Structures are given as structure tokens and as C-alpha cells.
Amino acid sequence: MKTKTAWIILVVLAFCLADCSGPIGTTQPEPTVENRRESDMERDTVADVSADASEQLVQGNERFAFDLYKSLQSTEGNLFFSPYSISLALAMTYAGAEGDTAQQMAEVMHFSLPQADLHPAFNMLDLELASRGEGAQGRDGEGFRLHVVNALWGQQGYSYLTGFLDSLSRNYGAGMNFVDYAGDSEAARQEINAWVEGQTEDRIQELIGKGLLDELTRLVLTNAVYFNAAWMSPFDSGNTVDGGFNLLDNTQVPVPMMQQVADFRYAAKDGWQAVELPYIGGELSMLILLPDGDQLEQFEASLYPDVFEDMISRLSIRNIALKIPVFETSSAFSLSQTLQQMGMTDAFTEDADFSGMDGTRELFISAVLHKAFISVDESGTEAAAATAVVMSLKAVMDPPLEVSVDRPFLFLIRDNPTGTILFMGRILDPTG
């Protein structure tokens, strides 16, 4: 699993019920709660959410993003993920959590709002993000794309609570798709993966690996994010030259370095520099964080939300002779152990309480899967991510200022009006 080079997000969150990592027990009877096949509710297209609630949500998501980065930073190699995708997927899961399970999830995810306010706040944020890039251009010359989509994949004939389905339909646009895990879990897996591939323009494939779904799977909640945008100030490919990128072991690798002289927002302090590259339209941007010399480890250790916000506040326009490598990277994670280490323990054990989903306490999270991809070149950025949370029955389961980005760096893609971090990553070696 690579985790030290680049973060960018496109997400799919899947909740399923199966996997050999679950607690040991005996097969439980099917619940006899009212069998609500799907929600009759349409998505709320106007969310009545206070500015304070919206700010709390964004701040909480930002705190989770940096917490998760710190939990993953020891992984070798490039690192890339979508904290927004993961937050969305687990927020949908949280809608069915109760008791200590819900409390632990709220603490790890920094969900400070009550459930009645949290989910409408996610809806409002998602609707706002959907309005970005109107009339703008994508990296590929087609239109700008920032797509965030959710879906449910439930066992046919299984009962889900009306309130749970209504909340996900109204606030996340997550409609129910019925599959037959009990009769053909492999066909269900292929159908879900195909949906993820389609929503991410084929950038995220095989999100759910073989064997993760079986006859005990009951629900998969999926979230996918796809981003494709052109730079506001594109690089001339004719100016791209071979350059050297300095690795952590003091060796160099050759890499194409795109370059231009232009006005960018810039900040610097002892130990780091920061450069913001806006995408066309100015609503989103990539923020590159460049630690000095061999200071990557110390810089990562010091990076907290308040430090990050201080960096943002220091940005001001400077004329920059910028060099940055062309790069492409992807990452794949199984986040179950990471989330447990962060404090979300009960959700993955026989103590899990997801009675808000089906009226019983027979479900637990057996896996949380995430994949992300990013590609950056002279024209712009393409990024995608998907998250899958697998829920199972509790049973036995198997001149100008020169800035040269020529050493390891961190980067984020943010929605500027809200401060939402859509993608986050680190590049240790742009060639791999």
C-alpha cells in the first residue's frame, strides 16, 4: 500500500456486510422490521442550514483530514486520498449508528453537530460544490467536472428502517439498488465496482476486491468523487524540460518539470513555502506545501488545522517563476485498522450498534476501503476517489521569486469559498 506521495480525492463509500475480519458468532436470523424497499423521499435541493452549522461541518472535516493524514503518513511511497469522500461515506454510515458506536464515530470524524443538523449540512455543502465550475473548462478540453455521487446497495428482501433510508435519500441523494449477496455475491461486487468505474470515468477500478462480499453482506453504501479542471494559468508544454527531483535519500530522479512565470498567491516561513495554483474560474485551487530541504518529517509532524489556517492567511500575490513536476499517482487503502486506532473501535466488533439501519444490532463494519487517483500536467488536474464501507452480519467470516518544486511536497485541492479540502496528498517521487 503506497501512502507517501500524493493525495487527491474522488470517493466511493460502500457499506457491505461481510469479510473475514469480523467478530466470531453464529448466523443471526433475518430481522423482522418493516421491509421498506426504498425511500419515497426526493433529495432536498434547498438545504436550510445555518452559517454556523456549515462552518462547524467544514472545520470538523478539516480536522479529520489532517488526523487521517497523520495516521497514514508512515506508509511508504506516495500518498493520496480524498478525506471528503471518506467523510461522506462514514457520515452515511453514522446515520444508522446508535449509542457508544455513534459517539466514537462522532469523535473520530469530528462530527460536532447533532444528527438532525449534520446530514442537512452535508447536503448543503454538496449542493454548493455541485455549483462550481459553471462554464469552465476541464483539463481534457471538455467541460469542468466536479461530481460527487452516493448510492446504496442492499440485499434484496432485507429490511431497512424508513427513517434511515429517508435521511440518506433526502440529504445524500443515495437511492437504493437491490442486489443478491446471498445468492451471488460476486455478481453484486461486479455491479458495484462497475458503478464506481462509471462515476469516476474509469479511474477507480476494483474498489471492492474479491472475497469482501459474501452471503452475509447486507448493505453497501457507496460514494464516488470525480474532478477534472484546467489551470487558470496553464503551463506551456513547450517550456517543460527534464529536471531533477530530489528524493529523501539524497538521490535524484529525472522528471519532466513544467514551468512558467506568473502571479500566484505565495507564503513562506521558517521551514516551508506554499504556492496556490487556481483552477479556471478561481473557485478551486491546488495548494502546494513545500518543506525546506530534509524537513519533510518535521513539517508533517507540525501540520495541524490551526497551522494550516495560518498558512492560508499568509498567502499573498507574488510574481513567481514556478517549476513543478508532471506527476500521476494512485493509492489504495483498507482503513479498518486505521480507524480503529483512531478511536472508532466498536463499529468493527460485536459491540457495534447500527440499529438505526435495520432495527437490530446484528450489523457491524467489516471493511472500509478507499482508492484514489490523480494526474497533474500542463493543462490541469484529473482526480478521482472512492470509499467502500462493508457492513456484515455478526457471524463467522473469513527577479521573480523562484519556487522550484524539486523535492518532496504536500498538496491539497480546496474549494475556496467554503474551505472544504477535496483532495490531499504528498509526492515523494513523481515518477512512481
366-421: pLDDT as tens digits:
999 999 999 999 999 999 999 999 999 987 544 788 889 989 989 999 999 999 99
Q: Do the Cβ atoms of 390 and 18 come closer than 8 Å?
A: yes
Q: Is the four-CA dihedral 59, 282, 120, 146 of positive or negative sign?
A: negative
pLDDT value, residue 157: 92
The yes-or-no verdict on residue 4 having pLDDT over 60 is no
- Cβ neighbours of residue 110 closer than 8 Å, sequence gap 6 or more: 59, 60, 61, 63, 64, 67
At 153, the pLDDT band (50, 70, 90 cuts) reads very high
Cβ count within 10 A of residue 213: 31
Is 282 exposed, middle or buried, given 0-12, 13-18 or 19+ CB atoms closer than 10 A?
exposed
Whole-number Å distance between alpha carbons of 431 and 428: 9
- Run of H or E residues at 257: strand 252-269
Residue, of 4 and 344, whose pLDDT is higher: 344
Average pLDDT over residues 164-179: 95
pTM metric for this prediction: 0.85
- In this structure, of 83-92, 131-140, 259-268, the range with the lowest mean pLDDT score is 131-140
- Size of the chain in residues: 432
pLDDT value, residue 167: 96
pLDDT value, residue 38: 67
Average pLDDT over residues 246-251: 92
Give the 3-state secondary structure of residue 190: helix
Give the 3-state secondary structure of residue 174: coil
At 41, the pLDDT band (50, 70, 90 cuts) reads confident
Q: Do the Cβ atoms of 425 and 4 come closer than 8 Å?
A: no
The yes-or-no verdict on residue 9 having pLDDT over 70 is no
The yes-or-no verdict on residue 203 having pLDDT over 50 is yes
* CA 114 from centroid of its chain's CA atoms: 22
Average pLDDT over residues 12-16: 31
Whole-number Å distance between alpha carbons of 197 and 205: 6
What single-letter DSSP state applies at residue 237? G
Q: Which grid cell sits at 136?
A: 469552465
- Terminal Cα-to-Cα distance of the chain (whole angstroms): 13
Domains of the chain: 51-230+328-393 (3.30.497.10), 237-326+401-427 (2.30.39.10)
The pLDDT tens digits for 315-329 are 999 999 999 999 999
Whole-number Å distance between alpha carbons of 283 and 217: 40
Computed over every residue of the chain, the mean pLDDT equals 90
Counting DSSP H helices and E strands in the chain, the numbers are: 10, 15
At 272, the pLDDT band (50, 70, 90 cuts) reads very high
Whole-number Å distance between alpha carbons of 73 and 421: 17
At 235, the pLDDT band (50, 70, 90 cuts) reads very high
The yes-or-no verdict on residue 219 having pLDDT over 90 is yes
* CA 63 from centroid of its chain's CA atoms: 13
Reference 389, options 361, 369, 362; nearest CA is: 369
Residue, of 280 and 37, whose pLDDT is higher: 280
The yes-or-no verdict on residue 5 having pLDDT over 50 is no
pLDDT value, residue 177: 95
Determine how β-strand 241-246 pairs with β-strand 252-269: antiparallel
pLDDT value, residue 412: 93
